[in-house]
């Protein structure tokens, strides 16, 4: 009987050790995924005629030839690249006016607008601040009433095929630092035919 108890204790101890090791490993799994992605793919991905630099702490998931996600392992931020053919009557000016006049509301106000050129194509980007209600569990904070959180995002459209969306990883302050996102945008090049 004592041997059976020792065997059970050993098994329980081993299972607990595995569970603790798995839990401790969890924060590093995405960083490991970024390292593995860069070893396998280098520092960029190619998509529909574009070459996009992937920073060291980021990794990419390519959906198909017309889309990809980049994930920041430090912050949880994500960038979504999508290639969409535009109708012949599409203009950046008309799209920009539509977004500013029809899609600018109190729940997701536009807090910034930027025009620039990437890989020889004009882009217009709108920085937004989505307000969300965050319920903090009672065991974390004495104040259990909902608070307002902010989920910054950037929506970019181009005169060409490429459209880009950026999403901040966690509820953040109203103003977000978009410098890393715009650095990734500035790195985009067209592949040589």
Q: Say if residue 117's pLDDT is above 60.
A: yes
Contact criterion met (CB below 8 Å) for 54 and 68: no
- Shared domain for 60 and 100, answered yes or no, is yes
Domain with 51 in it = 43-190
Q: Quick one: 46 exposed, middle or buried, by C-beta within 10 A (0-12, 13-18, 19+)?
A: middle
What is the number of H-type helices and E-type strands within the chain?
3, 10
- Shared domain for 16 and 73, answered yes or no, is no
Range name among 52-61, 95-104, 131-140 with the lowest pLDDT average: 131-140
Structural domain count of the chain: 2
Residue-level pLDDT at 25:
46
Tell me the C-alpha distance between 81 and 52, whole Å: 9
Residue-level pLDDT at 2:
46
Q: Say if residue 43's pLDDT is above 90.
A: yes
**Residue 27: which pLDDT band, with cuts at 50, 70 and 90?**
low
Residue-level pLDDT at 193:
62
Contact criterion met (CB below 8 Å) for 29 and 19: no
Tell me the C-alpha distance between 189 and 193, whole Å: 12
Average pLDDT, the chain: 78
- Shared domain for 23 and 60, answered yes or no, is no
Q: Quick one: 55 exposed, middle or buried, by C-beta within 10 A (0-12, 13-18, 19+)?
A: middle
CA-CA distances (angstroms) from residue 176 to 30, 148, 155?
23, 15, 14
- Shared domain for 66 and 32, answered yes or no, is no
* DSSP secondary structure letter of residue 138: T
- Shared domain for 179 and 145, answered yes or no, is yes
Reduced 3-state DSSP string for 33-72: HHHHHHHHHCCEEEECCEEEECCCCEEEEEEECCEEEEEE
**Residue 172: which pLDDT band, with cuts at 50, 70 and 90?**
low
Residues found in the chain = 193
CATH code assigned at 144: 3.40.1000.10
- Shared domain for 115 and 174, answered yes or no, is yes
Q: Say if residue 153's pLDDT is above 50.
A: yes
């Amino acid at each position: 009987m004592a041997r059976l108890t020792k065997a059970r204790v050993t098994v329980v101890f081993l299972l607990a050790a595995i569970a603790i090791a798995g839990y401790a490993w969890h924060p590093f799994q995405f960083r490991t995924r970024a390292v593995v992605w860069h070893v396998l793919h280098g520092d960029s991905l190619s998509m529909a005629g574009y070459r996009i630099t992937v920073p060291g702490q980021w990794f990419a998931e390519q959906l198909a030839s017309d889309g990809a996600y980049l994930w920041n392992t430090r912050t949880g931020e994500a960038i979504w690249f999508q290639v969409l053919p535009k109708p012949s009557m599409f203009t950046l000016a008309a799209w920009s006016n539509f977004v500013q006049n029809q899609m600018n509301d109190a729940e997701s106000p536009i807090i910034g607008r930027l025009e620039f050129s990437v890989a020889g194509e004009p882009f217009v980007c709108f920085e937004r601040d989505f307000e969300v209600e965050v319920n903090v569990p009672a065991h974390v904070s004495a104040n259990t009433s909902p608070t307002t959180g902010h989920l910054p995002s950037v929506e970019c459209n181009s005169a060409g095929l490429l459209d880009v969306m950026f999403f901040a990883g966690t509820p953040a302050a109203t103003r977000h630092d978009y410098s890393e996102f715009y650095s990734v945008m500035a790195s985009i090049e067209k592949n040589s035919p």
